[in-house]
Amino acid sequence: MLDASTRQALAATRSLGRAGLRVGLAECYADCPPGLPVLGFRSRYCSAGVVLPSFADEPRAYAEAVVELVRAHRPRVLIPGSDGSIAAILPYRDTVEELGCALALPPEEALAVANSKDKTLALAAELGI
């Protein structure tokens, strides 16, 4: 799981851990100060915690570090938890999936609609919502 400092990552880690799954976490300090403790790393369900390059400052280095983590640890699923990590890892989706790891994101077309207010409203109007 990426973005270990977020509350959603902590909640997901607890949920997955309680279900008996091993959860590894990564953080890059793009959205939180490096001096603060990373919430997810403190969870009893965190089997490993890794600090990555910043996706804000070095998106390519971030994504390549994520790919290396996937290559080394062979997780079944990679869960990004913020827009920044999604944007950085999305161009590497095929690489991650070729390594046998599912990226927990919808297809890019669905992300484009979800990330655009105009597209979302147009689709809602089309659906009569």
CATH number at 70 reads 3.40.50.20
Residue 111: inside a domain: yes
Kindly report the length of the chain.
Answer: 129
Per-residue confidence (pLDDT) for residue 123, from 0 to 100: 87
Tell me: the pLDDT tens digits for 19-56? 999 999 999 987 777 777 888 999 999 999 999 999 99
> 10 Å Cβ neighbour count for 117?
8
Provide the terminal-to-terminal Cα distance of the chain, rounded to the nearest Å: 34
Residue 2: inside a domain: no
Torsion-angle region of 128 (φ positive above 0: left; ψ -120 to 50: alpha; else: beta): left
Q: Please state the domain count of the chain.
A: 1
Q: Whole-number mean pLDDT of the chain?
A: 92
Burial class (CB in 10 A: 0-12, 13-18, 19+), 107: exposed
Domain limits for position 36 = 7-126
Residue 88: inside a domain: yes
Tell me: the pLDDT tens digits for 47-80? 999 999 999 999 999 999 999 999 999 999 999 9
